[in-house]
C-alpha cells in the first residue's frame, strides 16, 4: 500500500527543513575551521576565501589543548568505569534479590537523578575546600575530586539503566548457573553480564558522553593544570582577539571521537534505552 | 569462600531437606547479607556524593555564609530563615530577580520541551517506514545529540555573533528581514537564541525515544485499521499517537527535568551572568553563589528549586498514573 501524496509531500518538506536545521551549524563548524583568521573575523561568508589547515596546527599551541584532552579523557574515563562497575553490582542486587530497604534505595537513586547539579556543587565545593584546609589533601582542583563530582550524575543514571536492563535478562539463565554450581558472583559475571553487554555498553557510552560534555563542575572544580576541554576551549578568546577558526577546529577535534563512537554504538544505546528507560 | 557458597546453594536447590541446621545458618546469613554487600560500594558513594552534600546544603541554607566563612563554613553564624525570606521577598531585588528567573525558566522549559517533542515525534513517525537515505538521515539527526554540549553551543555562539555571525548575515544581508543586524546574545533576543540552541540540541533525544517506542506497536493494529478503510493520517492519529502515550509520559518528564535544570547551554552561550531575558534558574543560583559569593542564599534557592521539582514530579506522576488507569477501563 503506497502512502498518500499528502504524506509523501509533508515528509519531504519536513525532513528537508530539519536536515537544514541540523546541518547548518555542522557546516559552519567544518568550514570555519578551514578559514584564515581574517575571514572568520569579518562578515560571515558561506564559502572560505582561502582554504587553510593552519588552525588545526595552531590549536595545539594557542592553548595547552593536549593537556586538556588528557584531563578530559582521564576524568570522563574514570567516572565512567567507576560508575559502571559499581552500578553492575548494585543493579544485580536490586534486580535479583528481595531485601529490606530495596524500595527506599531505588526511589533515592531515581530522585537524585532529577536534582539539579547546582544543588550538589555548592556543598561539594565547600567540603573540598574545607578538607583541603584541614588535611592538606587537595581535592579541590584535582582530577580525583572532579571524578567524584561526576559520580553525582553518572552513578544514579547507570544504576537505574542497568536495573532495567538486568530485568530484561531472563532469570532462568542465572538460576541455571546457580544450580550448575556457580556462586552468585559467578552467575553475575558468567551469565548476567555477558547477556547484558549491549546494555552495559549503552550505559558506558552514555556516561562517558555526559562526562565529556560536562561544564558546571568542570568550571568550578578545576585549576590551570586539571582543566578539562569544556573549560579549556574558552582559552581561544582573549581580550583582543577571538580565534574563531581555531575554536571551530578544536571543537571538531574534540567532537569527532565522541560523535563517531556514538554513531557506531547507537544501536546499543537505543536497545538500552528501550529496556531501561521506556518500560 | 567462593567454593562453599555454590555447593550449599546447589545442595539446597537439589535436595532441600538434607541440609543440616548448623550448616544452613551461615548460608542463609550470607544470602541475606549478599544484596547489601553488592550494594555497599553504591551505598557508600551515594552517601558521599548525594546524601552528605544534600544535608550540608540544607544546613548551609540556614547560615549566613558569605566569602568570609568559606575557609570553614561551620563557623558561619546561623540566621534562621533569613536566606529563605530574602529569596521569596518578591518586592526586594534578590527575590524579584529570583521570581523573574523562575518565570523565564518555566516559559523556556515549556516551549523547549514542546518543540523538542513535536519535532522528535514528527521525525520518528515520518521515518517509520523505509525509504532511500533513511539510515544516513537517521545518523545525521543524532549528531546534535552526540556533540559535546560546549562545542555545539560554541558554534551557535559564533553563528549568533553581531558582526561576523551567520544568523545576522542571512537575516540582514541576504534576506533583508531586519533593518540592522540584531544582537542575539544580549537583550530580549537572547531568549530566542537560547531556545533555538536548546531545541537543536534536545530534539534528537525525543526522536530516539519515540523511534524505540514505535517498534513496540503491534503491526496487526495497522493491518486491521487499513482493512477497515483507515488512511495513513487516520492511522497515525488513532493508533500511533495513542500507543505512544506511556512512552511520552516518561519522555516529557525526562525532557522537562533536563531542560529545567540545564546549566551547560546558558552558561556556554552567555557566560557567568546571563542576560535578563534568558536568566535560567541554574545559572542564577550559580551567579548568586560563585559571583556574588553568597552561598547561604544560593543554598536556600537550591532547596526551594528542589522542593518545586519534587512537587511538580509528584503531581505529574499522579496525573499520568490516573490517566493510565482510566485509559485501561
Interval A35-84: pLDDT, tens: 999 999 989 999 988 899 999 999 999 999 999 999 999 999 999 999 99
**Collapsed DSSP state (helix, strand, coil) of residue A42:** coil
- Please indicate if any CB of chain A lies within 8 Å of the CB of B125: no
Half-sphere exposure of B144 (CA within 13 A, CB side): 31
To the nearest 10°, the Cα dihedral for B59, B62, B65, B71? Answer: -30
CB atoms within 10 A of CB A84: 23
Half-sphere exposure of A250 (CA within 13 A, CB side): 29
- Which of the residues A6, A12, A44 would you substitute to probe the B interface, choosing the one with the greatest number of B C-beta atoms within 10 Å? A44
Q: How do residues B196-250 score in pLDDT, each as one tens digit? A: 999 999 999 999 999 988 988 888 889 899 888 888 899 999 899 999 998 898 8
Q: What is the mean pLDDT of residues A130-149?
A: 88
- Please indicate if any CB of chain A lies within 8 Å of the CB of B13: yes
Among all chains, which residue has been given the C-alpha cell 550494594? B39
Angstrom CA distances, A233 to A77, A221, B220, stand at 19, 16, 52
Helix (H) or strand (E) holding B181: none
Q: Which three cell numbers stand for residue B312?
A: 511538580
Of B43, B72, B129, which is closest to A133 when you measure between CB atoms? B72
Helix (H) or strand (E) holding B13: helix B4-14
CA A44-A50-A51 angle, 5° bins: 105
Nearest in space to A230 (alpha carbons), one of B191, B165, B158, B267: B267
Residues in chain A: 279
* Those residues with Cβ within 8 angstroms of residue B285's Cβ, 6 or more apart along the chain or in another chain: A116, A118, B298, B301, B302, B305
Does the pLDDT at position B24 exceed 50?
A: no
Q: How do residues A239-257 score in pLDDT, each as one tens digit? A: 788 999 999 999 999 999 9
> Chain A closest CA to B72's CA: distance in Å?
6
> Chain B closest CA to A67's CA: distance in Å?
17
**Collapsed DSSP state (helix, strand, coil) of residue B248:** helix
Residue pair B6/A58 in contact by the 8 Å Cβ criterion: no
Q: How do residues B131-180 score in pLDDT, each as one tens digit? A: 888 999 999 999 999 999 999 999 999 999 998 899 999 999 899 888 88
> Chain B closest CA to A219's CA: distance in Å?
10
- Per CB-CB distance under 8 Å, the chain B contacts of A127 are 52-53, 56
Q: How do residues A2-46 score in pLDDT, each as one tens digit? A: 788 899 999 999 999 999 999 999 999 999 999 999 999 989 999
CB atoms within 10 A of CB A19: 15
What is the reported pLDDT for B32? Answer: 67
* Those residues with Cβ within 8 angstroms of residue B290's Cβ, 6 or more apart along the chain or in another chain: A220, B272
pTM given for the model: 0.89
- Please indicate if any CB of chain A lies within 8 Å of the CB of B109: no
CA of residue A223 relative to chain centroid, distance:
21
- Per CB-CB distance under 8 Å, the chain B contacts of A109 are 46
CB atoms within 10 A of CB B64: 17
Pairwise CB contact (< 8 Å): B149 & A86: no
Helical residues (DSSP H) of chain A, grouped into ranges = 5-32, 37-41, 54-62, 65-96, 102-114, 117-135, 143-167, 171-179, 184-187, 193-195, 197-212, 216-221, 229-232, 244-276
Task: Give percent above pLDDT 90 in chain B.
Answer: 56
- Please indicate if any CB of chain A lies within 8 Å of the CB of B10: yes
> Residues 24-63, chain B: which have Cβ within 8 Å of A?
32, 34-36, 38-39, 41-43, 45-46, 48-50, 52-54, 56-57, 60
Q: What b/e readout covers A112-125, taking b as 16+ CB neighbours within 10 angstroms?
A: bbbbbbbbbbbbbb
**CA closest to A105 among chain B residues:** B43
- Which of the residues A122, A187, A255 would you substitute to probe the B interface, choosing the one with the greatest number of B C-beta atoms within 10 Å? A122
Q: How do residues B114-136 score in pLDDT, each as one tens digit? A: 999 999 999 999 998 888 889 99
Among all chains, which residue has been given the C-alpha cell 554504538? A265
> Residues 281-320, chain B: which have Cβ within 8 Å of A?
282, 285-286, 289-290, 295, 298-299, 302, 305-306, 309-310, 313
- Which of the residues B140, B148, B258 would you substitute to probe the A interface, choosing the one with the greatest number of A C-beta atoms within 10 Å? B148
Half-sphere exposure of B175 (CA within 13 A, CB side): 9
> Chain B closest CA to A33's CA: distance in Å?
11
To the nearest 10°, the Cα dihedral for A271, A276, A277, A279? Answer: 90
Residue pair A117/B257 in contact by the 8 Å Cβ criterion: no
Does the pLDDT at position A210 exceed 70?
A: yes
End-to-end CA gap in chain B: 53
This model of the complex carries an ipTM of: 0.92
- Which of the residues A126, A127, A133, A231 would you substitute to probe the B interface, choosing the one with the greatest number of B C-beta atoms within 10 Å? A126
User: When comparing pLDDT for B72 and A124, which is higher?
Assistant: A124
Q: Taking CB atoms and an 8 Å cut-off, how many pairs form between chains A and B?
A: 284
> Residues 81-100, chain B: which have Cβ within 8 Å of A?
none
Pairwise CB contact (< 8 Å): A116 & B212: no
By the 10 Å C-beta count (0-12 exposed, 13-18 middle, 19+ buried), A186 is classed as: middle
> Chain A closest CA to B224's CA: distance in Å?
14
CB atoms within 10 A of CB B68: 10
Strand partners, B63: B78
B273 confidence band (pLDDT: 50, 70, 90) = confident
Nearest in space to A208 (alpha carbons), one of A80, A117, A113: A80
Spatial distance between the Cα atoms of A175 and A196, rounded to a whole number of angstroms: 16
Spatial distance between the Cα atoms of A72 and A209, rounded to a whole number of angstroms: 11
Pairwise CB contact (< 8 Å): B233 & A6: yes
Q: What is the mean pLDDT of residues A87-115?
A: 89
Spatial distance between the Cα atoms of A44 and B233, rounded to a whole number of angstroms: 42
Amino acid at each position: 500500500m503506497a502512502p498518500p501524496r499528502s504524506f509523501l509531500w509533508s515528509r519531504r518538506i519536513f525532513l528537508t527543513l530539519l536536515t537544514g536545521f541540523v546541518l547548518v551549524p555542522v557546516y559552519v563548524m567544518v568550514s570555519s575551521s578551514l578559514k584564515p583568521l581574517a575571514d572568520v573575523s569579518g562578515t560571515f561568508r558561506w564559502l572560505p576565501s582561502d582554504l587553510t589547515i593552519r588552525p588545526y596546527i595552531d590549536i595545539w599551541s594557542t592553548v595547552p589543548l593536549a593537556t586538556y584532552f588528557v584531563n578530559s579523557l582521564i576524568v570522563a574515563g574514570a567516572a565512567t568505569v567507576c560508575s559502571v562497575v559499581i552500578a553492575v553490582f548494585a543493579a544485580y542486587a536490586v534486580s535479583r534479590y528481595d531485601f529490606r530497604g530495596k524500595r527506599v534505595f531505588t526511589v533515592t537513586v531515581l530522585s537524585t537523578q532529577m536534582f539539579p547539579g547546582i544543588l550538589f556543587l555548592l556543598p561539594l565545593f565547600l567540603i573540598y575546600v574545607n578538607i583541603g584546609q584541614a588535611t592538606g589533601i587537595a581535592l579541590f582542583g584535582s582530577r580525583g575530586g572532579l571524578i567524584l563530582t561526576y559520580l553525582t550524575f553518572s552513578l544514579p543514571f547507570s544504576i537505574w539503566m542497568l536495573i532495567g536492563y538486568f530485568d530484561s535478562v531472563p532469570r532462568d539463565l542465572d538460576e541455571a548457573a546457580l544450580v550448575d554450581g556457580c556462586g552468585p558472583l559467578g552467575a553475575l559475571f558468567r551469565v548476567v553480564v555477558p547477556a547484558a553487554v549491549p546494555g552495559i555498553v549503552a550505559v558506558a557510552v552514555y556516561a562517558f558522553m555526559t562526562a565529556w560534555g560536562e561544564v558546571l563542575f568542570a568550571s568550578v572544580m578545576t585549576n590551570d593544570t586539571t582543566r578539562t576541554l569544556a573549560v579549556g576551549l574558552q582559552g581561544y578568546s582573549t581580550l583582543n582577539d577571538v580565534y574563531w577558526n581555531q575554536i571551530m577546529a578544536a571543537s571538531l577535534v574534540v567532537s569527532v571521537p565522541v560523535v563517531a563512537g556514538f554513531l557506531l554504538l547507537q544501536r546499543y544505546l537505543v536497545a538500552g534505552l528501550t529496556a531501561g528507560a521506556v518500560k | 569462600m567462593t567454593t562453599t557458597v555454590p555447593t550449599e546453594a546447589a545442595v539446597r536447590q537439589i535436595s532441600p531437606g538434607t541440609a543440616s541446621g548448623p550448616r544452613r545458618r551461615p548460608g542463609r546469613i550470607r544470602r541475606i547479607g549478599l544484596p547489601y554487600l553488592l550494594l555497599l560500594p553504591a551505598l557508600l558513594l551515594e552517601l558521599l556524593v548525594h546524601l552528605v552534600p544534600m544535608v550540608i546544603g540544607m544546613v548551609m541554607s540556614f547560615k549566613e555564609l558569605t566569602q568570609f566563612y568559606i575557609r570553614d563554613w561551620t563557623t558561619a553564624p546561623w540566621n534562621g530563615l533569613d536566606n529563605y525570606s530574602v529569596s521569596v521577598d518578591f518586592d526586594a531585588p534578590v527575590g524579584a530577580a529570583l521570581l523573574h528567573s523562575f518565570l523565564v525558566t518555566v516559559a523556556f522549559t515549556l516551549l523547549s520541551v514542546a518543540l523538542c517533542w513535536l519535532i522528535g515525534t514528527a521525525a520518528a513517525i515520518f521515518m517509520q517506514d523505509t525509504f532511500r537515505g533513511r539510515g544516513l538521515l537517521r545518523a545525521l539527526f543524532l549528531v546534535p545529540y552526540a556533540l559535546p554540549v560546549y562545542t555545539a553551543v560554541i558554534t551557535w555562539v559564533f553563528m549568533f555573533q553581531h558582526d561576523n555571525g551567520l544568523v545576522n548575515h542571512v537575516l540582514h544581508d541576504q534576506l533583508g528581514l531586519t533593518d540592522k543586524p540584531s544582537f542575539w546574545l544580549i537583550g530580549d533576543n537572547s531568549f530566542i537564541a537560547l531556545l533555538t540552541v536548546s531545541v537543536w540540541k534536545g530534539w534528537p533525544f525525543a526522536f530516539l525515544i519515540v523511534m524505540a517506542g514505535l517498534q513496540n506497536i503491534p503491526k496487526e493494529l495497522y493491518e486491521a485499521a487499513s482493512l477497515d478503510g483507515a488512511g495513513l493520517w487516520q492511522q497515525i492519529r488513532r493508533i500511533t499517537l495513542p500507543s505512544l502515550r506511556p512512552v511520552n509520559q516518561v519522555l516529557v518528564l525526562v525532557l522537562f527535568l533536563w531542560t529545567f535544570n540545564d546549566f551547560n547551554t546558558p552558561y556556554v552561550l552567555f557566560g557567568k551572568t546571563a542576560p535578563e531575558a534568558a536568566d535560567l534558574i541554574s545559572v542564577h543560583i550559580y551567579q548568586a553563589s560563585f559571583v556574588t559569593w553568597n552561598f547561604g542564599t544560593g543554598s536556600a534557592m537550591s532547596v526551594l528549586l528542589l522542593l518545586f521539582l519534587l512537587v511538580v514530579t509528584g503531581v505529574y506522576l499522579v496525573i499520568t498514573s490516573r490517566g493510565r488507569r482510566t485509559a485501561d477501563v
